[in-house]
Amino acid sequence: MVQHCCQDMEDSLKFECTEHADKFECADTLVTYNEKFNEYGLIIHDGGSSSKTIYYCSWCGTKLPDSKRDLWFDTLEKLGFDEPTEQDIPKEFKSGAWFKYL
């Protein structure tokens, strides 16, 4: 389980709207966390599922961990996956489990 920087971040990420099943559709949902990339973002409420990566916590100011997005692609490329979003990649690369073994 991921431990976030502060209780406010934790609470914001755990927020569940009673009106919207998708967090990207709810204007009250502000932040998202992508475990696969260890990446935090502010949700862009434009009808899609976009977010803007953030580097510091909006509540406590703590520096957030560096994104592992580039490392994810680089690691999979070394394993022979040149189009990992379109290929059947190993299960551990679909979550944050992959970088715990680096």
Specify the amino acid at residue 89.
I
Q: Distance between CA atoms of 73 and 16, rounded to whole angstroms?
A: 31
- Determine the pLDDT at residue 47: 87
Say which residue the tokens 């920087």 belong to.
5
3-state secondary structure of 27: coil
Q: Where are the alpha helices (DSSP H) in the chain?
A: 7-14, 69-78
The DSSP output letter for 91 is G
Position 1 scores a pLDDT of: 60
Strand order in the sheet with 31-34: 31-34, 39-43, 51-53
pTM: 0.85
- pLDDT by residue for the chain (102 residues), tens only, comes to 678 999 999 999 999 999 999 999 999 999 999 999 999 999 999 989 999 999 999 999 999 999 999 999 999 999 999 999 899 999 999 999 998 767
